[in-house]
Structure 1
Amino acid sequence: MVVLNRIYTKTGDSGETALGNGTRVAKYSLRVESYGTVDEVNATVGLARLHASDPMDGQLAEIQNDLFDLGADLCRPDMARDKDAEYTPLRMVDAQVKRLETQIDSMNSALEPLRSFVLPGGSALAAHLHLCRTVTRRSERLVMELASLEEINPAAVQYLNRLSDWFFVASRIANDNGKADVLWVPGKNR
């Protein structure tokens, strides 16, 4: 159980923070940037939820919880030492990725195929979901960069990749099942 009885600790005043295994690193380290951007995704999901109703609001709530799981996974380096940890570290699992895939397939079955790229916009919910999508893509790029240097849980990377797809398909659902999508018209304003 997490207990937060002091919000400020002053331990980060020197520009360092603690990872999940206690290691101190610079606050600008790639690992901290990676899970910090996952936290930013979560904040954008909170904004999207202001405009969502069920079942999408419930799905977004699940995603927010998953994003905390993902942050916990990313803040804990050295997966090879998980078995030696005082407690079993929280890691993303394939079932979380599969749940997103199932939801994407279900939402996408209600949509007509696209014949153009979609511009971010339409309804307020769709616009917020596009923001979620783009911040998720940035998060994925950072995690992939980290994965080029250190071992990262493959399910964490897969989750981020599916999540941006989820946000895209959900934005179309939020635009009257794609009927209110704002489509790109190449060269329209030349």
Structure 2
Amino acid sequence: MVVLNKIYTKTGDSGETALGNGSRVAKHALRVNAYGTVDETNATVGLARLHASGDIDAQLAMIQNDLFDLGADLCRPDMDKDAEAEYPPLRMSHGQVDRLEAEIDAITKNVEPLRSFVLPGGSALSAHLHLCRTVSRRAERLTVELAATEQVNAAAVKYLNRLSDWFFQASRIANDNGKDDVLWVPGANR
């Protein structure tokens, strides 16, 4: 269990922060941006949950916990040194990816087929889930960019890729299984 006796440490006053392995990097480092955007995604999920109930709320609660796992994974570089670590670092698992895929498949069976691109909106929950989708896509882009130059757990990248799809399909459930989706009409305002 984590115990925080003091919230501010003053160690970041010079513009640096500590990663999970104790190394210090600039607060604007790509790795920090990646896990910071995962944290931002989690905050948007918290907003969405204000409008959720039942299965969707329970699934969002699991996603929030997964996002903390993901942040812990991303803040710990040097995957090749995991075996040497005093405490094994928390890494995302393919089981978490598989769970999202199963949930996406179950949702897909219940929504109307798409006939156009969907605009964010409809119900309050749907609009919030679209915000979750776009922020998680940004987290994915940053994580993929990070993976181009540093080691990143492949399950973390896959999880983020599936997560935005999950948010999209859940937004459709929140719009009466897609019946109340707001559809894009190309060129409608020319």
Aligned position for 1:96: 96
Q: Equivalents in 2 of 1:46, 1:129: separation in Å?
A: 10
User: What secondary structure, in the 3-state scheme, does the structure 2 residue paired with 1:113 have?
Assistant: coil
Q: Equivalents in 2 of 1:189, 1:47: separation in Å?
A: 32
User: What secondary structure, in the 3-state scheme, does the structure 1 residue paired with 2:100 have?
Assistant: helix
Aligned position for 1:31: 31
Which deviations, in whole Å up to 9, do the C-alpha atoms of 1:89-142 show, x marking residues without a partner?
000000000000000000110012101000000000000000000000000000
User: What secondary structure, in the 3-state scheme, does the structure 2 residue paired with 1:81 have?
Assistant: helix
Amino acid in structure 1 at the alignment position of 2:133: R
Amino acid in structure 2 at the alignment position of 1:51: H
Alignment of 1:32-47 (within 5 A): 32-47=32-47
Question: 4+ runs of 1 displaced by more than 6 Å?
Answer: none
User: What secondary structure, in the 3-state scheme, does the structure 2 residue paired with 1:77 have?
Assistant: coil
Aligned position for 2:68: 68
Q: Equivalents in 2 of 1:146, 1:189: separation in Å?
A: 39
Provide the TM-score with structure 2 as the length reference. Answer: 0.99
Q: CA deviation at 1:151?
A: 1.0
Provide the TM-score with structure 1 as the length reference. Answer: 0.99
Q: Equivalents in 1 of 2:122, 2:27: separation in Å?
A: 37
RMSD after superposition: 0.4
User: What secondary structure, in the 3-state scheme, does the structure 2 residue paired with 1:22 have?
Assistant: coil
Aligned position for 1:180: 180
Aligned position for 2:125: 125
Ranges in structure 1 where 5+ consecutive residues have no aligned partner: none
Amino acid in structure 2 at the alignment position of 1:50: L
Q: CA deviation at 1:35?
A: 0.2
Alignment of 1:146-165 (within 5 A): 146-165=146-165
Identical amino acids, percent of aligned pairs: 77
Amino acid in structure 2 at the alignment position of 1:146: L
Q: Equivalents in 2 of 1:100, 1:121: separation in Å?
A: 23
User: What secondary structure, in the 3-state scheme, does the structure 2 residue paired with 1:143 have?
Assistant: helix
Ranges in structure 2 where 5+ consecutive residues have no aligned partner: none
Q: Equivalents in 1 of 2:168, 2:22: separation in Å?
A: 37
Aligned position for 2:145: 145
Q: CA deviation at 1:3?
A: 1.0
